[in-house]
Structure 1
């Protein structure tokens, strides 16, 4: 876990104003401790990305939210596809072959 100061040191160009705005918009979800906000390593990486989108690429707040929402959806879909793939891999060979044949018939590779 990182403190706000540690997050700011790790993310060039990111300021307290940035972080407060992103927290208010729900783009960062810090934990709270007696010392203040705490950030997991994924939050620090997300803050870097938000900073790059906002400052380096010039996206406004609405565009940043859209991009981050789309990235979150892609991440979720990749996780779900991984689960489906592992579930299929756990099936007996005839079931896996039937699934492969159906995917090929439906236009898969």
Structure 2
């Protein structure tokens, strides 16, 4: 877990104002409250992304929520596809071959 001070040191361009705004909007979800916030690695990475979107790429604050929502959706889809791949790999050879043939046929449409 990362403290607010550590987060701000890691991401030199971030300020407490940035972090407080993102926490209040639900874009970061630290444990604890106020001065004792502790951030999971996912929030540390998300803070980096938010900072890049706002400070380096010039996104407006309203657009940031949409971008983060889309990134979350992509990560969710990737996890689901990974699980689906593992589920398919556990199936008998005949089933896997049938799925491969169906995917090949459908991809030619």
TM superposition score normalised by structure 1: 0.94
Moved over 2 A (4+): none
Deviation string, structure 1 residues 5-51 (Cα, Å, up to 9, x no partner): 01000112100000000001110000116961100122111101100
Matched, 1:42 2:37: no
Q: Which has the higher strand share?
A: 1
Distance 2:62 2:13 in 1: 20
Aligned to 1:93: 93
Q: Which has the higher helix share?
A: 2
Residues 5 and 24 of structure 1: CA distance in aligned 2, closer, same or farther (over 3 Å): same
The alignment covers a number of residue pairs equal to 108
Aligned to 1:52: 52
**RMSD (CA atoms):** 1.5
TM superposition score normalised by structure 2: 0.94
- Runs of 5+ in structure 2 lacking a partner? none
Q: Secondary structure at the match of 1:31?
A: coil
Distance 2:94 2:34 in 1: 57
Q: Secondary structure at the match of 1:29?
A: coil
